[in-house]
Amino acid sequence: MTNAMSTLARVDWQRMASFAVANPRQALINTAVAYFIFRQVTKGIKTMSVYGLQKVLTHLWRAVAGGLIRTVRKAPGTGAVLQRSIDKVVKDIEKSMNVDLPGETKYETIPIQPMTDAEILAILKRRQDEPGVDWRNGRASGSVYHGGEELARLTNEAYA
């Protein structure tokens, strides 16, 4: 405690006050940055006491990297460029997952009219070797829900 008091006694408070009066905006920015650093150090000390140094460094990296990414995304011009890149990647993924076969109906929603078991099995038979879908090795996207015993029977028949 004596060390902290002697450090505070050596601070030129009058000079600091005159700087704050002459540069209020910069003084506010400095205060905000100091507060942010203080909060992060306090969180780091608490986290380190519970989880250890590795967890603290991971948390620090995520906070800095996340803040940097958010800042870059909000910057004029970069946000739009980044969004275009994201949209392109999403479009490429959707295109690779949704192969159009000539003469084949594309089902993006559940059909309004129910299909017969024979119709479903015929579609599955036609599409089982479609390019880009490696369902035998678990490389297919889809949803799973329980549709009752009738659907379970149809599913078993389809995979037989």
The model's pLDDT over 23-44, given as tens digits with 9 standing for 90+, comes to 889 888 988 998 999 998 888 7
pLDDT > 60? residue 1? no
Predicted pLDDT at 110: 83
Question: How high does pLDDT run on average in the chain?
Answer: 80
pLDDT band, residue 8 (cuts 50/70/90): low
Predicted pLDDT at 144: 62
Residue 139 in 3-state DSSP?
A: strand
More reliable by pLDDT, 19 or 25: 25
Q: At what angle do helices 78-97 and 53-74 cross, to 10 degrees?
A: 100
DSSP letter at 137 equals G
pLDDT band, residue 118 (cuts 50/70/90): very high
- Amino acid identity of 69? I
**Contacts of residue 141, Cβ cutoff 8 Å, sequence gap at least 6:** 97
Structure tokens at 103: 């003469």
Asked whether 99 and 130 are in contact (CB, 8 A), the reply is yes
pLDDT > 80? residue 9? no
- Pairwise CA distance, residues 19 & 21, whole Å: 5
Structure tokens at 78: 């970069």
Structure tokens at 142: 């889809």
The model's pLDDT over 40-91, given as tens digits with 9 standing for 90+, comes to 888 878 878 888 888 878 878 888 888 888 887 787 878 788 888 889 998 8
Structure tokens at 74: 């909000």
Which bin fits 146, alpha (ψ -120 to 50), beta or left (φ > 0)?
Answer: beta
